[in-house]
Amino acid sequence: MPDTTRYKYIGHPIRLMSRVPDSEECCPPSCCDMRGMLSFQILWELSKKPMNGQELARRIAERRGSRPTPGTIYPALRDLAVRKLIDGTSDGKQVVYTLTETGKQGLVEARRYFYHAFGDIFEDCKTSHSV
């Protein structure tokens, strides 16, 4: 099992995809720690288009209802950049972040893991209105 203690952040509402067969071993993706969702959501948002930190915070707030503070989002962005999952390019006063090839692969792994771990919960939500 891979060591995931060095990963601190992750984030995004789960999109359903083809379920990984139960016979396949599925372990936490190397890009993301399963304790949180911020870095996953950052990777997801950057897969749609390049954005600066403020734009990312705004998009995250639209999805989850609360806006991450600068003290939360910028350390997460720095961590993702250090791990070569995203790249930041200065555009005047702002840094615009893009997903790297490594980040794209990490996002694929994370989506697969989330679906394997939680997909049945969301499938059940589609058919049932009670707990």
Confidence of residue 53 (pLDDT cuts 50, 70, 90): very high
pLDDT in tens, 61-86: 998 888 999 999 999 999 999 999 99
pLDDT confidence of residue 7: 36
Domain layout of the chain by residue ranges:
38-126
**Residue 51 near residue 43, CB atoms below 8 Å:** no
Residues 6+ away with beta carbon under 8 Å from 9? 32, 33, 36, 37, 38, 39, 40, 42, 75, 76, 79, 80
CATH 1.10.10.10 fits 38-126, yes or no: yes
| Cα gap 65→2, rounded to integer Å | 32
Angle at 13 between CA 12 and CA 14, to 5 degrees: 110
Instruction: Report how far residue 19's alpha carbon sits from residue 116's, in angstroms, rounded to the nearest whole number.
Output: 6
Task: Tell me what percent of the residues of the chain surpass a pLDDT of 90.
Answer: 47
- Is the pTM value of this prediction over 0.75? no
pLDDT in tens, 95-116: 999 999 999 999 999 899 888 8
